[in-house]
Amino acid sequence: MKKFSGADRLMKLIMRTSLIYVILSIFFLQLIQAASVSGQVGLDRKISLAANNIAFADLLKQIEQKTGVSFVYTNNELSGEKISVKQSEKTARTILFPVLEHYNLMMVEDGMTVILKHKMQKKAIVKPGSIVGYVRDKENKKTLPYATVTLKSSGQKVITDVNGYFIIDNIKPGEVTLAVNYIGYSAMAYTIAVEEGKTSKIDLFLSAESNDMKGITISGIRRGEAVALSNMRNADNIKYVLSEEQIERFPDATVGEAMQRVPGIAMDYSYGLPRNIIIRGLDQSMGSITLNGNRLPSTSTSSRDVDLNGILSSTVEAIEVNKTLTPDMDADGTSGSVNIISKTPKKGEKQLNLKGSFGHNFLLDKQNIDGSVTFGKRADKWAYLFGINYSKSFRGEDRVQKDYDTYEINGVAKTMLSNLELEGTDIRRENLGLQVEIDYFPTQKSQIYLRGSFNKYYELQTRGTKSYSIGDYTDQAHVTDVSIGSSGTPRNYNRNLTSFSLGYKTDFNNWKADADLTFSSGLYDQPLYFDGYFSYNGLSAGLDISNPRAPQFDFGSVDPNDPSKYTTNYYTNRHQIAHDKDGQGSLNIQRTFELSEKNKFVLKFGGRYKYKEDDHTRSYYQYTLKTGTLSLSNFLGNFSREKYFDGNYNLSGAISDGYLMEQYYQNNRALFVDNETYIRQNTDPDSYNGKETLGAGYVMGKLTLDKLDIITGLRYERTGFEYNGNIVSFNDKGAYVSTNKVAVKSNFSGFFPSLNLKYALDQQTNFRAAVTRSLSRPGYYDLVPWQEIETRRKRMKIGNPDLDQATSTNVDFLFEHYLKSLGLISGGVFYKNINNYIYESIYTQAGGQFDKYQVTQTVNGANAHVYGYEIAWQQQLTFLPGFLNGFGIYGNFTQIQSKFKIPGITSVRTVRLPSMRPKVGNASLSYEKYGFSGRISLNFYATFISELAETQENDLMEKGRAQLDFSASQKISKSFSIFMGISNINNAQIILDYGDGRPNDHKYYSTWANIGFKYTPFH
């Protein structure tokens, strides 16, 4: 581990303070429970005593003479019974103790004076009792997670778990009163008799806040909102929660789509759908994605990222976004930690949820289908839940990409368009989500669970591509030596997630413990990629750039779609596969100490161990004809988009079919020879395997002082890794020379203290503050010791096994006020100081074997700083009269700034972090009444740096984007409802420009919609 820099003095102070805090707390607790008895020198003196059948008073006098102590007593302590004692060289205390026991006496020592008293009669030991139970909605009997239950006699407070269950231990027998509080519900009090040494069971029922506004209930969506808000209010850290019902409120089919509604979150899009999460300006590589608290393995080829398109939103019960960490959480959460909570069986409920829908994609004019079934039941000892979710959808993308080069026109060097590429993509996506949970409850305070989930995400892409490469300009409107490239490239992907967990939870007296064993696997597999690339060369054309985003070529009388003019002499295919497999175990133990009626201390400690294997094989093949060429006429495909890019182009005709190319190659292998240089250059550097181990331990304490909670502690994590890679070399003519295997073994580690403060001004209002330390690990591929050395170009790309983990000091302040009408008003600020920020660098090597080579490598950079503010407001406007009281507002806005220094061509540049959206927000207007729920929603972000270059004018900037969506549902009966959704109503596009304004990349998606039903017969 690298030493802390000067910027981390605050964290060192917090680390030491946290450790001292925990140690002193434990010492204090031991101290207040121990009886203090000081030994006196006189009675500890060794004496010899021989007394036969003497009075008790005479025995005391002999001891006084030999020790110098004075005994004080009354006639009540004396006894007429004679006593005999014979002891040699023993302490007076040892001699006296059995005598006092015989006469049922005790002594109180004050210096050299010993007062004798009769012992108090021992009272019978009263065994405390316990209360267990559920908090439920009185109307529909559904459990209410994260409710606050308070034992009035002692002030002891507990929060119900995700199933609405609570346990209160160490209760004095007799009648006690429980007070229950929940957002959106009227507070209630219940009296229950607690028997000695027994566990009492009770269900506590709450009623929704009463109002006279007909048609408004707290069932369905509003119940889900109450659950989410209660979870947030009672949390020890700063977090945001989306419940299942809230997710269904939007037309969001995947977890990725649902995440874009959360304050401070933006998404990285893939083919028009959100894929990777960006929290407070930091991408997914600086955070973590967990399932029920266990980190998910990667579904990408080289990083730790999880493609959130691969998890259907219908498979989850809730999503938690943790923006600050506590010591019992994994430390890799600099940007934040997203915890996906799977569905679980509910006590006393039989669950059956049926959902189905069909939809339409307006770009491709194709239909989508979606369906899910979930069934579960919970009895006293056993519970189970099974779910199956399936989605088949079609997506499309029209993409226009432009590159530039320097040309000399009339003796003047100008930067002009050098390449225009039209890439149309038809996508068929299939998602399958399977989940199962089986629970056994040996006692009312313990649980054994077995959970399994499988998320299959399959994507088949059919691409049609035309590219126009410009050789030269005669003037700005005429180009020569134009080459048209054409290809049809089918390719597919599998991104699968599998997870199995076996765990145990128990509660005894004031102790709690839980243990979990989890195996999980992430798969990225691309078994199909057939690329037939043909070209038509030597053309001249007029060039119209009046619309710089859609330049137009005019080839005159020449037909650019004549397939007989397109030829090729090679064929390319590839197969790429990556496996990420984890085995992990965790243990947490917790002890609660009741200090007074309103004060308590919770000590928690535990750890986690994880073993990971990760491997990636990239097999790229190119086969060259021994003689002659192939004509496109024999390999024509049927890809066609006549009104491409909103009618600016006709991407049809003269596009090859990759399947036909693969078939021809397989039938005529003898006509081809392997292009070894291409194969080795595109295969060996990217293929690797390795393993990682993680060991973590923590201790934390939570001290509750009336309205103030102090949560602090220390976590230690050590990551060890071993990776095997390849060094690939080429000669000065660019031909392949050799591949040499290389291995590396290293580790990084660190201490991660944290401090979270929560002050509850009242039941609805919290002030929060946090200072935490976190980490982000390099991607797998970044740590592999690979090298790709191109001698001819004096260029090399290399891995970096010397990378250190990036660490961050994080400071947060938040105000949150929860509204009785189911709402939240919050605002806060945050700051992150990131040491050893990890980014890709392009630099020129100075000295050594590769002097003056251009090197591309992921490196640790200078400190990066991220800071900003968040505001959020969500409220049902139930205070409005009549029709208007069905309206609701949902809005949030985050503004972020960042800076770090990178090398430039002439000097060091200070820039914003790549991928950081400086402004992110959501705005939504809803209406809910008489079983109807509808909302129109806007999600937006501002222009940001997508990719850094050596100069500002060549930085890639993604322009700001706003997407408008609509969703609605209508309850037909208590069990049956219908819904609909329209996404991207305004046809929001993704546009990238260079820093100087030149258009680079433009992606167009159109709109998609669905309509369906939901059936829930059990209530």
- What is the C-alpha to C-alpha distance for residues 901 and 910, in angstroms, rounded to an integer? 4
705/909: higher pLDDT: 705
Q: Are strands 294-295 and 806-819 parallel, antiparallel or unpaired?
A: unpaired
Q: Which of 242, 252, 239 is nearest to 937 (CA)?
A: 252
Q: Encode pLDDT of 358-376 as tens digits.
A: 999 999 999 999 999 999 9
> Which DSSP category does 467 fall into?
E
Residues 875 and 116: their CA atoms lie apart, in Å, by: 70
Distance (Å, whole) CA 953 – CA 418: 17
pLDDT, tens only, 773-809? 999 999 999 999 998 888 888 888 999 999 999 999 9
Residue 12 has pLDDT above 70, yes or no: no
d(CA 864, CA 280) in angstroms, rounded, equals 14
Percent composition of the chain: helix, strand, coil (DSSP 3-state, to 5): 10, 60, 30
Query: pLDDT-based confidence at 24, cuts 50/70/90?
Result: very low
d(CA 228, CA 313): 16
Statement: residue 422 has pLDDT above 90: yes
- Decide: 57 and 25 in contact? Cβ < 8 Å: no
The predicted pLDDT at position 847 comes to 85
The confidence score (pLDDT) of residue 377 equals: 92
Give the containing element (helix H, strand E) for 651: strand 649-652
Give the Cα separation of 18 and 603 in Å (integer): 13
Amino acid present at 127:
K
Q: For helices 92-102 and 56-67, what crossing angle results, to 10°?
A: 160
Sequence-separated (6 or more) residues with CB below 8 Å from residue 15: 714, 751, 753, 773
Q: How far apart are CA 32 and CA 132, in angstroms?
A: 29
Q: What H or E segment, with its residue span, contains residue 16?
A: helix 9-33
Ranking 103-112, 452-461, 877-886 by mean pLDDT, the lowest is 103-112
Q: Contact 825/816 with Cβ under 8 angstroms? A: yes
Better-predicted residue by pLDDT, 580 or 211: 580
Q: What is the Cα–Cα distance from 957 to 804, expressed in whole angstroms?
A: 28
Q: How confident is the model over 606-631, as a mean pLDDT? A: 95
The conformation of residue 959, written as its DSSP 8-state character, comes to P
Most confidently modeled of 182-191, 348-357, 626-635?
626-635
- With contact defined as beta carbons under 8 Å apart, do 1009 and 360 qualify? yes
Mean pLDDT of 53-62: 83
Q: Are 896 and 917 in contact (CB under 8 A)?
A: yes
Pairing of strands 838-844, 165-171: unpaired
Task: Show the tokens assigned to 73.
Answer: 């007593």
The share of the chain scoring above pLDDT 70, in percent, equals 94
pLDDT at residue 634 in the model: 95
**What's the chain's average pLDDT?**
88
Task: Name the band, by pLDDT with cuts 50, 70 and 90, for residue 122.
Answer: low
Torsion of CA 832, 833, 838, 844, to 10 degrees: 140
Q: Kindly state the DSSP code that residue 313 receives in the 8-state scheme.
A: G
Q: Hey, which residues does 134 pair with through a beta bridge?
A: 165, 203
Say if residue 38's pLDDT is above 80: no
Angle at 624 between CA 619 and CA 626, to 5 degrees: 145
- Token pair 């990083």 is at which residue? 303
Contacts of residue 66, Cβ cutoff 8 Å, sequence gap at least 6: 45, 47, 49, 92
* pLDDT of 765 above 60: yes
Model confidence pLDDT, tens digit, residues 660-688: 999 999 999 999 999 999 999 999 999 99
Mean pLDDT of 81-88: 82
State residue 907's pLDDT score. Answer: 67
The β-bridge partners of 459 are 429, 493
User: Angle at the Cα of 123 (from 120 to 129), degrees rounded to 5?
Assistant: 155
Q: Is the pLDDT of residue 640 over 50?
A: yes
pLDDT tens for 802-853 read 999 999 999 999 999 998 878 899 999 999 999 999 988 878 888 888 888 8
111 band by pLDDT with thresholds 50, 70 and 90: confident
On the CB side of 972, CA atoms within 13 Å amount to 11
Identify the CA nearest to 248 among candidates 324, 321, 355, 351.
Answer: 355
13-22, 134-143, 326-335: which range is least confident on average?
A: 13-22
Convert the pLDDT of each residue in 392-405 to its tens digit.
999 999 999 999 99
Higher pLDDT, 165 or 73: 165
Strand 599-625 with 570-594, pairing: antiparallel
How much is the pLDDT for 39? 41
pLDDT given at position 724: 94
Q: Who has greater pLDDT, 960 or 794? A: 960
How does DSSP classify residue 123?
P
Distance CA 367, CA 361 (A): 6
- Each residue of 265-320: pLDDT tens digit? 888 888 888 888 989 888 888 999 999 999 999 999 888 999 998 999 989 999 99
The candidate with the shortest Cα–Cα distance to 1003, out of 993, 994, 995, is 993
pLDDT at 28 over 70: no
Distances from the Cα of 192 to the Cαs of 139, 148, 151, 661, in angstroms? 22, 17, 11, 78
Pairing assessment for the beta strands 382-409 and 999-1004 based on DSSP bridges:
antiparallel
Q: Which long-range contacts (CB under 8 A, 24 or more apart) does 25-28 make?
A: 25/601, 25/603, 25/701, 25/703, 26/603
More confident residue, 848 or 709: 709
**27 φ, ψ to 5°?**
-60, -45
- pLDDT tens digit string along 448-492? 999 999 999 999 999 999 999 999 999 999 999 999 999 999 999
When pLDDT is cut at 50, 70 and 90, the band that residue 219 belongs to is low
CA separation, residue 862 to residues 733, 773, 901, 911 (Å): 37, 17, 6, 12
Q: Is the dihedral of CA 85, 91, 94, 100 positive or negative?
A: positive
